[in-house]
Each structure stands twice: as structure tokens, then as C-alpha cells.
Amino acid sequence: MRTNIIKLLLKKELMDVFRDRKAVIMLVLIPILIYPIIFFGSFTVMTLIQSNMEKGEYKILIETEDDGDLIDQINLYNKSKKNRKSENDSLSVIRFEDAVDDYLEENKNISEEDFSEESHQEVVDRLLQGEAVDVYVDTQVDEEGTLIYRTRFVSSITDSDYAETLVKDVLDELADASTRKILTDKGLDADKIMRPFDIERNNIASQEQSIGSILGMILPFMLIISLLMGTMYPAIDATAGEKERGTLETLLTLPIKNHEIIIAKFFTVALMGIISAFLNMISMAVMILYMVKLVSSDVAGNLGLNLRNFRVGTFVPAMTVTILAVLAFSLFISAVTMCITAFAKSYKEANNYITPLTLVVMLTGYIGFIPNIELTKHMALVPVANICLLIKELLLFKAEMGTVVIVLLSNIFYAAFAIFMLSRIYDSESIMFDEGKFGLQLFQRRINMEKGGVPTPGDAWFIIFFVFIVYLLVGSILQLEFGVVGVFASQMIILMLPLAFAIYTKKNLKKTYSIKGFRITDIVAAILLYSGVFIFENIVSNLISVLFPQQYEATDIGLEQTLMGDNIWFTILVVALAPAICEELLFRGFIQSGFKNKYRPVTGIILVSLVFGAYHTSFIRFIPTAMLGGCFAVILYYTESIFLTMIMHFINNTLAVLFMYYPGFFERTFPILSSTEMSVFESVIVTWIGVLMVTAAFLTFRTPPKVVKKRERKGTDAEE
């Protein structure tokens, strides 16, 4: 690797970025200004709202049959400062006639005669809606003779809503006073009866924890959005912007390698993200220090904050890990944005491509606002959400080292995978310079889309990433919350999103999903191939269970807890039949058909297998799952029938369900396959059986269509 070339390319990319004013604004101004604007704006608005509400005089229209008790209590409320929400608020009792006069004075186009045909209640509603009255109170006596006070107000009007809470306080005081009078008249001690015990509230949360709970909801969302903005525009400029300027062709003609270009561009975008991250950290630290200084002002008291004993030093470990988390997320989001924008041919098109990612990141960022969602080991694997929850738990001093490591490593792994995909994109001239044959077609005008055909490789990769993100974010929560039902809902996500994409882009559904019949020999070949791969998969699983016994056992227990239900038939329906249909239509249908015209058959099968393994989000089960996905992909390649892969998938999942419900039966019936401690002789025998089955399967399969065409062409040439 020539470091001097990479340095020159990096310098060139940085100069291009800093020439773009929009990128500089998003990189520098947003992180510096966003925290002061949000915090100061929030404090100011809250203070103004509270002060305006507390300084008001609220008009109360009273029509009660209580001998004036409520009016007397309101007068006591206005005189006393003890039980009032604020020293400045007051309640003013207004007569019905005066309220009507005020309403008519404000509405000159309405006369008193307009009220003649309306009922008394309708007139009252008019007064409330017109803000001539804030609250209306009347009384009603029920069948048992109990007096009922009824309030009428408009919750959408701030003054009316706040005034109703004041009236409720007055009514509570009136109820207490009436109770005391009744008890006193009967010679009882009203204080002991009404207040038989006292309440002492002790909040053991430190000031740091209280502030951390507030920051933990707000700051993660602000961080990920500002980081996305900081990396988005440099990524667009480094990919689509260079295409639009026409400089990419010149760059590729120079004596430099593609991976050197990719490294320079990625380092540029990642550096912009890291700079944005540090600016966010500095801005956040300044805001925390300023909040400490608020203790000397009245604002802190009005907002219920007591920061006199607040120690900034307690946040240093949390902020240190937060910086590492943000740096890891910068690498991830930089690589993802570059992968997406690399498909665009112009700056405008790249902005369209990046919009779905922005929406997904924003919606995922709201997870920090949702209570009772913790950073479990499963959630630690969900991109974006894991960063938000980690920062939240760090600020609450609850993060565990194990989950911290999982979050950091998962983001680095996702970033590495995205960089690998980016290298594949830059190695493909058909993607970099295509006119739509291999690129993403979603953002083209639908009227310009040609009817028929199958998805492009760009369509396939977009669906892989988009469905994967939605599946991780939504599907994980559904499965954790609803178990087997959540699994079914997750399968519907896998089915509907690519199907909607195919319909919108006018694809030929029959060709896209390989809807075609099959022969008897195809069934025999498919069963032989599946049986052989099942043996190999079982051997690999046993080896993994020996190497990683605790992780493997934990994975099996977690699967059983999630998938096992009370009804075995319902479990088979959800766990076996639904995935057999939905997953096959996605992986062997949409994705494999998208790879067919771009990659060689072996490459396409391997890619589909790896994606299939990654979708099941289990590092322990990745290799066995990928082997199974490769088996189904080979069956589809030779038979061109999605129905056969669905059948094999259904058989595989049904066997897994039966093994969960009846483990003893399988251990007795298939002792060799069920055993994790096979002898060398047994392993050799089982392996040879698998090899023979796979060989027999390939001998039974019919010749692939492409090979047939080549043979036909050779025969024609020979005849000529």
C-alpha cells in the first residue's frame, strides 16, 4: 500500500470538502450551535410559558347550587398564598351577563339576538371557545343526593387548561374544608382522621443521576443526527459530487489503485465525522458547565433543578466511553453513507438516496426517549439504537463492560463490512458508470421505468440494507415483546418490503421470484443435496458447540424461549411455514434474481448465502445458516423453481421445531447426528455419507439453462 499516494489523495479530498460551504456549515456550525439553541430555547420557552401562566387572572363562570361555598373558597384561595401554585395567579368570578357582554364586544359581527335560538349550554361553549370565560362550573345532584361539581373547559387553550387545574385545587380544598366541618361538628379530631399518617419522600438519586437521566434522553438523539449531518455532505461530495463534476473518470485513469481511492475517501468522510463528534462533545461539555452555573439564577429554581452539589468529574468516565462510542459510530455511518451515495450519478440524486437513511436514523434515535428499553446483548447488535442506548446508560451510570464492548465491536464490524461493499462498488464499472442497467431504480420517475425484467444488482443491495435495518430495528423489538407472534410479524416485514419495491418498479414478479414448476428428478436432487448439507451443517454445529460451549448453549436457550409456544402446530406455522415462504421470496427470489445478471453463478450463490447468514444475527449460528442458504441457492440455480427451496426450507425448520418439542425422540432415533461427541470413525462415516449425497444430487440435477445455451451455440457452430 503506497502511503504517499493515499496522503496526496486525502489532501485532495479534504480540499474538495472544505471548498463546499454547505459541508463546512453542517460540520462546524451545527454542532456548535445546536446544543445552545436547543437548551437555551427550551429553558426560555418553559420559563416564559410558566411565568405567563402564573401571572394571569383567570375568569371563572359559576352557576352552582351550593349556597356560595365555592365562591367563598375561591376568595380564600386568592387571599392565601400557602396552597396556590404561584403567588401571582388568581381566580376572578364573572357573571354570565358580563361574560356575554365581553364576548359581544370582542366579536362585533355577532349580536345578542344570535344567542336566542341557542341553548344555555351552547352559549357557554361559545364563551369558552371565544375565551370570554376560562372555566365554567355548575352543579348536579345525583340519585343519592350527592352534590357533583362539574367543570367545563377547553384543553386546547392554554389559559383554560391551566385555570381548570386551579379550579380543581380549589374544589379539593373545599372538599377538605367540608369534611373537616362535618367531623368537627360530630366532636371528632379532623386532623387525625383525615391525615392518619405523614409521608416522607427520600429520593436517593444523586444530582448527577438526575441530570444524567435528562441528558440521556436528549443527547443521544442530538449526537447521532449531528454526526449524520456531519458525514452526509462530505460523503455525497466524495462520491456523487465527483461523478457530477466529471473528475472521477480522470482520477481512475491515473496510476493509482481503487482501494487507495477508497481509503482516501473513507478517511476523509470519517475524519469529518470525527471532527463533528469532537465538536459535539465540546459543545455538550460547555452546556453541562453552563447548567451548573444556572444555580445562581432563578431559572434553575423555576425548572426544578438543584445543581449546587453537582460534580462534573463524575461524568468523566462516561464521557470517555461516549467519545469512543461516537467515534465507532462515525466510522459506521461514514461507510454506510458512502455506500448509498456511490450509486448516485449527481448531487441531487444522492440527496434523494440518503433521505431513507436519514429517516431511519432519526426514527431509531427516538429509542432513547422510550422508557424501560434497556441495552441488552441483543439490542447491543442493533445499529444506531445500540449507540443511543449505550450513551443513555453511560449517563445513568448503568452501562456494563460486556455490552459496551459488544456495541463498539459491532459498529466497527458493520463499518468494515460497509467498506468491503464500497470496494466492490468501486471495482464495478457497470455500477459506477451505468445508465441504469445495474443501478438503483427506486428514485427514477415511475413513468420512465420499463415494465418487466428482474431487479438490478443496485435494487438487490438496496433491499438487503434497507430490509436488514428495518428487520433489526422493528423485528428485534417485536420478537422480544411478543415471542412467536413477533417472529411472524418480522416475517411479514421480510415479505412485504421487497414485494412492494418490485411492484413499484414494475418488475416481472414471475421472473423475479422464479415462479416455475419442477420435475420429479428435481425433488430427488433437492432432497439429496439438502440431506448432504444437513449432515455437514450438523458437523460444523457440533464443532462450534465444542469450541464455544457457553455461547452455543445460550443461543439455543434463547431460540427456544423465543420460538417455543404452547401449541406445536401454531409454532410450525409461524416458525416453519412463514419463513419458508417469506425468506425464500426475499433471498432466493428478489436478491438472487438481482445478482443473476451481474455476478457469476458461484459469486451470486456465495453472496446470497452470506447475506442469509447475516440476517439471522447470530455469530455462533452464522456458518451453519450460511451453509443452509447456499444449499437453497444451488437448488434454485439448477431448478429455477422457488417452490422447491420453500419445501426444503419448510422441512428444515419443521425438523428444528420437532427437535425442540421432542428432543428425546431424535436422540434415540438419530444418535449419531444428535451426539456432540462423535468418534473419529463415526465422523468419517458421516462425512462420506454427506459427500455421496451431495455428489448424487449434482449428478441428478438437470443442466443449468446458461450451460444449455452455450452447448446449443457450440452445436450450431459445428453444423455450420
Under the banding of pLDDT at 50, 70 and 90, the label for residue 309 is low
Percent of residues, the chain, with pLDDT higher than 70 = 77
Question: pLDDT digit string (tens) for 584-603?
Answer: 999 999 999 988 877 788 88
Please choose, from the candidates 564, 371, 380, the residue with its C-alpha nearest in 3D space to the C-alpha of residue 485. 564
Please choose, from the candidates 330, 334, 332, the residue with its C-alpha nearest in 3D space to the C-alpha of residue 265. 334
Strands 57-63 and 135-141: parallel
The CA–CA distances, whole Å, from 230 to 22, 283, 421, 428, 689 equal 10, 15, 22, 28, 56
Mean pLDDT across 500-520: 90
Question: pLDDT digit string (tens) for 469-505?
Answer: 788 778 777 777 776 777 888 889 889 999 999 998 8
- Average pLDDT, rounded, for the chain: 78
CA distance 244 to 229: 21
Percent of residues, the chain, with pLDDT higher than 90 = 15
Question: pLDDT digit string (tens) for 176-196?
Answer: 988 988 888 888 888 888 888
Mean pLDDT across 124-134: 90
Strands 57-63 and 90-94: parallel
Within 10 angstroms of residue 278's Cβ, the number of other Cβ atoms is: 15
Give the DSSP per-residue string, 26-67.
Answer: IIIIHHHHHHHHHHHHHHHHHHHHHHHHHT-EEEEEEE--ST
Question: pLDDT digit string (tens) for 48-88?
Answer: 666 655 556 889 999 988 888 899 898 888 888 666 666 66
CA distance 248 to 298: 58
Within 10 angstroms of residue 439's Cβ, the number of other Cβ atoms is: 24
Amino acid at 346: S
Question: pLDDT digit string (tens) for 634-682?
Answer: 999 999 899 999 999 999 989 888 887 777 766 666 665 555 556 667 7
Helical ranges in 186-206 per DSSP H: 190-194
Please provide residue 356's backbone torsions phi and psi, each rounded to the nearest 5 degrees: -60, -40
The answer to whether the beta carbons of residues 633 and 608 sit under 8 Å apart is yes
CA distance 294 to 556: 53
The answer to whether the beta carbons of residues 361 and 374 sit under 8 Å apart is no
End-to-end alpha carbon distance in the chain: 52
CA distance 19 to 93: 66
pLDDT of the residue at 711 = 41
CA distance 113 to 68: 31
Residue recorded with cell 477508497: 262
pLDDT at 554 over 80: no
What are the counts of helices (DSSP H) followed by strands (DSSP E) for the chain?
Answer: 34, 4
pLDDT at 310 over 60: no
What is the rounded (10 degree) CA torsion for 68, 74, 78, 79? 50
Q: What's the gap between Cα 122 and its chain centre?
A: 47
Within 10 angstroms of residue 435's Cβ, the number of other Cβ atoms is: 8
Burial of 491 (0-12, 13-18, 19+ CB in 10 A): buried
- Highest-scoring range by mean pLDDT, 300-309, 450-459, 614-623: 450-459
Residue ranges of E strands in 95-152: 135-141, 147-152
Burial of 398 (0-12, 13-18, 19+ CB in 10 A): middle
Element (H, E) at 172: helix 158-185
The answer to whether the beta carbons of residues 13 and 268 sit under 8 Å apart is yes
The CA–CA distances, whole Å, from 213 to 207, 219, 281, 299, 401 equal 10, 10, 18, 19, 20
pLDDT at 150 over 60: yes
Question: pLDDT digit string (tens) for 15-28?
Answer: 777 776 766 666 66
pLDDT of the residue at 11 = 79
Please choose, from the candidates 470, 494, 474, the residue with its C-alpha nearest in 3D space to the C-alpha of residue 486. 474
pLDDT at 397 over 60: yes
The answer to whether the beta carbons of residues 441 and 456 sit under 8 Å apart is yes
The answer to whether the beta carbons of residues 407 and 505 sit under 8 Å apart is no
pLDDT of the residue at 445 = 72
CA distance 380 to 402: 10
Residue recorded with cell 414478479: 509
Question: pLDDT digit string (tens) for 93-102?
Answer: 998 888 888 8
Mean pLDDT across 288-296: 59
Please choose, from the candidates 440, 543, 435, the residue with its C-alpha nearest in 3D space to the C-alpha of residue 501. 440
